[in-house]
Structure 1
Amino acid sequence: MTGVQPRPADWERSLPAARPVPADRVQRALGAARRLVVLDDDPTGTQTVRDLPVLTRWGTDDIRWALRQQTAGFFVLTNTRSLSAQAAADRNREVATACLTAATAEGVSVAFASRGDSTLRGHFPLETDVLAEVMARYDGPVDAVLLAPAYVDAGRVTVDGIHWLRSAAGLTPVADGEFARDATFGYRSSRLAEWVEEKSGGRVAASDVAGIPVTTLRAAAPAEVASRLGSARGGRVVVLDAVVDDDLRAAVLGVLEAETAGARFLYRVGPSFVRARAGQDAHPPLSGSELAELVLRDRHGLVVVGSHVGLTSRQLARLRERRPVVHVEMDVATTVDPASADGHLAAVVDRAVSALATHTVVVATSRTLVTGAGPAESLSLAGRVSAALTLATARIVAAARPAYVVAKGGITSSDIATGALGIHRAWVRGTLLPGIVSLWQAVDGPASGLAYVVFAGNVGDDESLATVVQRLEGS
């Protein structure tokens, strides 16, 4: 971590009170706005919204279907966080080109949000570079890349350009947390301008990164925010502070005003900005009666766990303590060994299918993280394990359709949705917990109608997974 970090209590005491910005005010401003297309690098970006379409493929028919829905925008699941840099670049280019081609055919203008991790993992600035290149071919150059990684519900906030993680122990600069030590996407900087310089390899100097501080968002009119944003040129990165949703909605009003005046922005954001830009407020979790309409009766659920972060492991332990589940472990070392992989996979499937008749079943990778010699090899190993977990899930669901499926982990939930369940189109119906853990309802494919729960590896507290399973089973 570079730079001098202030003590958390200093800014928490000194900030002016948030200025209320109702979601319906943003909704009114969306009338003439570009439709939002969220390129989600894993499925967990949907957990702050409800009643928006999700695509896991990007054929012309799929995109035109999404554009025809009466919504402020839609998600396209790219899953690029699980890909190599070159593959991620190729996929972003392919998806953006397909979306712009379909939008032109529909006579619709679109704005792109590159939804990355609120703890700063992912292919940045690679993805925004590629999107800016594609956008320039269709609509002209991008004036600014708006960087807003806040995820208010999960305690990830930005103040004076520094990104923080909130936990029961207090506030910690993001670079001091476990996510900054990620084998593939690790970093040293909590000050976002310095993080941009670090991740760009020095191509973008920290001094060239602009910012809109939270004090401005709480004091200035949208026109003033729009004026500051509208002065950015040449694809300059602009950091948006945010502590609460009102801060983001204040920023969005300025963004929309600047875009109406002709500015061209690209967003690199966490989940909370998406909710603000879609004109939505924080919704309460799905009610028991709503869940009863979504979850199959007289059956038990399947929970698939691939995430290895410490929080997920603690959540898994608490689930096993609180609920009568059958735990089926997929041993990672055995899974990546060609000599033993097939037999181990068959045993996992057989045990899970048998147990689903009487119990909720958890299929989880072993908790010891296996890494390679470098980032590329670590990513390759993770991909092989995820592929095996996906194949096992597909076989389990084909043999014994469960009441619901919960997927724990960002990459895991993407692979299960597309590879195991064949979900191509879905609707985000809402959340299971406040602001986290989204439930999708599949529109097509073999999983049509299935309740699919996307549960990120790094959100909630130790009790959250058990609480989600309890709510689903109770419905």
Structure 2
Amino acid sequence: MPAANEGVHVDVETLLASVPAPVPVRAADVRAETDPASVLVVLDDDPTGTQSVAGLPVLTRWDAPDLDWAFDTGANAVYVLTNTRSLDPGTAAERNREVVAAALAAADRAGKRLTFVSRSDSTLRGHFPLETDVLAAAIGEHGGRPALTLLVPAFPDAGRITVDAVHYWVVDGEATPVGETPFAQDATFGFHASDLREWVEEKTGGRVPAAEVAALTAGVIRSGPEAVADFLRALPESSYVAVDVVDETDMRVLALALHRLEREGVQALLRVGPPYVRAHIGQDIAEPVTRDRIDFANERGGLVVVGSHVPLTTAQLDALREARPGTATIELEVRRLIDDRREAHLASQAAAVAKALEDGTVIVHTTRELVTGRDGDESLAIARQVSSGVVDLVARVLALAPPRFVIAKGGITSSDTASEALRIRRATVIGPMLPGLVSLWQPEDGPARGIPFIVFAGNVGSTDSLAQVVDELVG
């Protein structure tokens, strides 16, 4: 679809009317073509990328023992939480380089071959092209050479699809080009283009013109894996490829093509949304985890921590409070977290949360006012201050009164809660709490071992999704 159509809100049935029927590819078909010695290393710029998978190891650190543990599980994908969406560009670049070097060293010890995946937000927010540039260079320094960089941001479970290279957000049957949504107004990672080809040109500052970005359209994908492999083989080396995805089978077709190309020695670098990893390793769509499958640490109330400021999160918080009017709610005031009142505020609020947990579930949220700086860097610094305040509070609560479970709402919030507040180095993704959307982890070490941790992205689900998850956990 040409860029002239950006800004037009389209009925999704009309949008998809000319798209061919999907190819019937099963997860088992993909599993049959996977190489057991090949492992995806997913550098996840916040922990919400695990929401579409089950039974995989996840790391918040990448020291040798941690990576050795992950590879020893025999999993064909390993998540490494870099949390780079909350970092400045220089720190984000260095962290990507560190992970590549550590992962390749661990792969040598384990006899594995790696494909690197840069997992980012399905609404196109994050350090691009910085992260794929750094990954490609770091892989090259260790003797590899990605021939292609594939962009697969689609997340059909959450209403994000790509058609004719244009990325859409689908709500209630209406498809809106993502550049016209609130996500594109992000203070740090904002953008204008919805056509992924133009988005690449925009984000690279013209270094990669839109005309040089290949569009792997649904017409090719729905001609089957060999048609996709032929299309990719014909591209110039180092090409960027914008990939159409409408449903799970489209990603499975792409996965089959990439497995075949890998056997020919063609290496790809992937920048993807949450569900592609599941498709690539041939994992079936997991059934939601129910309460009877969860081992709880104790009989206190659970802790629901809400940091995200996107409108959907605010609506979900309101719906939770309406559904559970008796639930204690403790507010962290953003402006107090960024001035000299911070310590006193955190001490008093942590004590209040610990006391309330003795009687039931507690909601902790930051004030809904979005405080931004003069530019993207200052806004990111404020976001880090607020996030570190949330982390500090959760850590204090963990010491005072370990909760029955912890839900972290928002990407930066959940990452910092996992790695800093709960001090999780290693965890296993048990599966989704909502289909493909909300991830349940089992911490394997640290003070939170035995406390179920639920990772809930800020911009997914319906208005009542947070209430549904709490209902499942509390009963």
Quick check: 1:159–1:243 contact (8 Å CA) kept in 2?
A: yes
Deviation of 1:71 after TM superposition, in Å, equals 1.4
Q: Distance in 2 between matches of 1:305 and 1:171?
A: 28
- In 2, the alpha carbon distance for the partners of 1:329 and 1:143 equals 49
1:285 alignment partner, one of 264, 283, 288: 288
Question: Aligned to 1:181, which of 178, 181, 185?
Answer: 185
**Residue equivalent to 1:112:** 116
- 2:296 matches 1:295: yes
Structure 1 counterpart SS, 2:339: coil
> What CA distance in whole angstroms lies between the structure 2 residues aligned with 1:15 and 1:107?
42
State the one-letter code of the partner of 2:172: A
Match of 2:81 in 1: 77
Which residue is 2:53 aligned to?
A: 49
Partner of 1:421: 422
Compute the TM-score of the two structures, normalised by the length of structure 1. 0.97
Give, in whole Å, the separation in 2 of the partners of 1:140 and 1:49: 27
The 10-residue stretch of structure 1 (224-233 or 433-442) with the greater mean CA deviation from structure 2: 224-233
Aligned to 2:91: 87
Q: CA deviation at 1:279?
A: 1.2
Q: Distance in 1 between matches of 2:75 and 2:144?
A: 26
Which of these residues, 194, 210, 215, is aligned with residue 214 of structure 2?
210
The aligned residue for residue 348 of structure 2 is 347
1-structure distance, mates of 2:16, 2:66: 45
**Equivalent in the alignment of 2:152:** 148
Deviation of residue 26 (structure 1)? 0.7
Q: Secondary structure at the match of 1:428?
A: strand
Residue-pair matches, total? 470
CA distance in structure 1 between the aligned counterparts of 2:37 and 2:176, rounded to whole angstroms:
36
| Root-mean-square deviation over aligned CA pairs | 1.3
The corresponding residue for 2:223 is 219
2:28 is equivalent to residue 27 of structure 1: no
Cα contact 1:305–1:365 (8 A) shared by 2? yes
Q: CA deviation at 1:169?
A: 5.7
Alignment pair present for 1:248 and 2:251:
yes
Q: Which amino acid aligns with 1:288?
A: R
Q: Separation in 2 of the partners of 1:169 and 1:241?
A: 18
Judged with a 3 Å threshold, the aligned counterparts in structure 2 of structure 1 residues 423 and 440 are, in CA distance, closer, same or farther, namely same
State whether structure 2 residue 285 is matched by structure 1 residue 274. Answer: no
Q: Which amino acid aligns with 1:207?
A: A
- Equivalent AA in structure 2 for residue 287 of structure 1: T
What secondary structure, in the 3-state scheme, does the structure 2 residue paired with 1:466 have? Answer: helix
Q: 1:238 aligns with which of 231, 236, 241?
A: 241
Q: CA deviation at 1:118?
A: 0.2
Alignment of 1:285-364 (within 5 A): 285-291=288-294, 294-323=295-324, 324-338=326-340, 340-364=341-365
Q: Which amino acid aligns with 2:98?
A: E
Query: Identity rate of aligned residues, in percent?
Result: 48
CA distance in 1, matches of 2:409, 2:244: 29
C-alpha distance in 1 between matches for 2:223 and 2:65: 44
Q: Secondary structure of 1:406's match?
A: strand
Deviation of residue 202 (structure 1)? 0.5
Report the CA distance shift for 1:2/1:11 in structure 2 as closer, same or farther (over 3 A): closer
Is 1:130 paired with 2:130? no
Shift in Å, 1:32: 5.1
**2:204: which partner in 1?**
200
Aligned residue type for 2:212: D
Deviation string 1:36-80 (CA, Å, 9 cap, x unpaired) is 110000000000000000000000111111111121111000000
In 2, the alpha carbon distance for the partners of 1:441 and 1:332 equals 30
SS of 2:384's partner is helix
> Distance between the aligned counterparts of 2:116 and 2:164, measured in 1?
25
Counterparts in 2 of 1:432 and 1:146: CA distance versus 1, 3 Å: same
Following superposition, the deviation at residue 218 of structure 1 comes to: 1.2
Bigger mean CA offset, 63-72 vs 358-367: 63-72
* Matching residue's letter, 2:203: K
Superposed displacement of residue 262, structure 1: 0.9
TM-score (norm 2): 0.97
What amino acid does structure 2 have at the position aligned with 1:300? G
- Deviation digits for residues 147-166 of structure 1 (CA, Å, limit 9, x no counterpart): 10011110100111000001
Counterpart contact for 2:52–2:439, Cα < 8 Å: yes
Q: Tell me if the contact between 1:33 and 1:260 (Cα under 8 Å) persists in the aligned partners.
A: no
Match of 1:101, SS? helix
CA distance in 2, matches of 1:173, 1:143: 29
Return the alpha-carbon distance in structure 2 between the equivalents of residues 335 and 134 of structure 1.
37
Tell me if 1:168 matches 2:172: yes
**Alpha carbons 2:353, 2:362 under 8 Å: kept:** yes
Cα distance change on mapping 1:169 and 1:31 into 2, 3 Å? closer
How far apart are 1:297 and its partner, in Å? 4.7
Deviations 1:97-117 (A, max 9, x none): 111111122221100000010
What amino acid sits opposite 2:147 in the alignment?
D
Q: Name the amino acid aligned to 1:433.
A: L
Q: Which amino acid aligns with 1:117?
A: D
1:234 partner letter: E
In 1, the alpha carbon distance for the partners of 2:34 and 2:396 equals 44
Find the aligned partners of 2:370 and 2:180 in 1 and give their Cα distance: 20
**SS, match of residue 275 in structure 2:** helix
Compute the displacement of 1:211 (Å).
Answer: 1.9
* Unmatched 5+ stretches in structure 1: none
Distance 2:143 2:41 in 1: 15
2:456 matched residue in structure 1 = 455
Say whether the 8 Å CA contact 1:33–1:256 is kept in structure 2.
no
Matched position secondary structure for 1:216: helix
Contact kept, 8 Å, 1:143 with 1:232, in 2: the verdict is no
Counterpart residue identity of residue 323, structure 2: R
Cα distance in 2 for residues equivalent to 1:297 and 1:471? 16
The structural deviation recorded for 1:176 is: 0.6
- The separation in 2 between residues aligned to 1:58 and 1:379, in whole angstroms, is 24
